[in-house]
Amino acid sequence: MINIKPFNFNYEFLTIAKPQGKSITIKAGETVRAEVIDVLPSGGVVLRMKGGHITVNTEIPLQKDTSLLLKILNTPDTDHRLRFQIIAVLGREGSISLNPKASITLNQLVSLFSSEELKDSFIKSLVDLLPQKFNSLDSNQRNILVSILLNNSRKLILQSVQEMFKENFIPVKSLTPDKLQNAIVNTGIFFENKLRRGSNIEEDLKFKALKNVHSGDENLKELIKTIDQFQIVSRLTDGIFTFLPVLWEGLKRGDIFIKERAKNGKRGYLCIIDLEFSDIGDLQISVFLYEKDLMVTLYVEDEGFREILSSGIKELKDNLAVSFNNIFLKFKNRKEESIGSGDNLFHLKV
């Protein structure tokens, strides 16, 4: 079990005692990972980092075979001598201690989980968390968990699963609103809710995977793990995270975010469709609906495809004018930043 908890030591810094063996190149401001390979009787600790070894002094009771995420400091109050600030500690038993005084990015924490074995252990521990434990996590911890889960889940929807349950996967050209709704409902993230309500589960993807998992197909286990991860992310964000089982030729990756937004006391809705194709690269469409006003912005990586879309902008605006009072359509030169978490969020992966 991996537990995430606050960093509760009175001290948070390591000071360098001496290097051992070959030289190590480090610089101020750098964030590095280190393994504790020995604890000396004198209280010093031998760390392995960047291919070498270094001995440090610390008041923190570190244990052998734990991992540290360290930030290298060089400030006037340290007499311009390098000092390490501990950002996070990964214990032997799988606990993660975060230092609330240190700034940490999601990518830095994810670097602690460099091996698939650690990632799998982490995912399994999250699946076992009781609902009340989610409520005790602060926003930073929630964001960290969401980042790790989503980074891990991109690899798990496999072609063989599409072949096994092809009736659950829809060609994009035949997609209709009714088929879209039915596909989302049966992606597996509502499976337990269906059981509680006594609803039909025969078409649910998680039910089918669980029913056939005894066959030993590793892809089914990966599919179940993916669904479990999206259920956890949905719980962490108070939103809906799932994937859209659509067959789309040339599509490498896709994310669809739908979020409710309030403006001047009135409701609006934002939809960001973020796609990556093998031939035209990135395509991102942002749609903001506010009462009878519509704003659409497009980012198109491929210049040729952008010209094709540009040629049809006037016709598109004329068609939309039937339903909306004001319409704003424009192209942009860069993609929107991901809105991967937040309240009232609906997220589909394609």
CB-based contact 347:242 (threshold 8 Å): yes
Q: Is the pTM of this model over 0.75?
A: no
User: Parallel, antiparallel, or unpaired for β 293-300 and 326-331?
Assistant: parallel
Reading the block at residue 196, the tokens are 């509680």
In angstroms, the CA 206 to CA 189 distance is 8
In angstroms, the CA 31 to CA 9 distance is 20
pLDDT at 6: 47
Mean pLDDT of 312-338: 87
In angstroms, the CA 163 to CA 78 distance is 61
Reading the block at residue 150, the tokens are 């989503």
Mean pLDDT of 7-19: 57
Mean pLDDT of 171-185: 89
H helices of 13-57, in order, are none
- The per-residue pLDDT for range 105-145, each reduced to its tens digit, is 656 666 666 656 566 666 665 555 545 566 666 776 677 77
Mean pLDDT of 4-29: 61
In angstroms, the CA 169 to CA 171 distance is 7
- The per-residue pLDDT for range 143-170, each reduced to its tens digit, is 777 777 776 655 555 556 777 788 888 8
CB-based contact 201:307 (threshold 8 Å): no
**In 3-state terms, what secondary structure has residue 241?**
strand
From the list 258, 235, 254, the residue with the least C-alpha distance to 246 is 254
Query: Which amino acid, residue 152?
Result: N
Which H or E run contains 49?
strand 45-49
Could you count the other beta carbons within 10 Å of the beta carbon of residue 51? 9
Bridge partners (DSSP) of residue 298 are: 285, 331
For residue 284, name the pLDDT band (cuts at 50, 70, 90): very high
User: Parallel, antiparallel, or unpaired for β 251-263 and 266-277?
Assistant: antiparallel
CB-based contact 343:238 (threshold 8 Å): yes
CA distances for 265 relative to 123, 200, 262, 268, 290, angstroms: 39, 39, 6, 10, 11
- The per-residue pLDDT for range 188-230, each reduced to its tens digit, is 999 999 999 999 999 999 999 999 888 777 778 888 888 888 8
In angstroms, the CA 184 to CA 230 distance is 12
Domains and CATH numbers, the chain: 4-104 (2.40.50), 153-238 (no CATH), 251-349 (3.30.750)
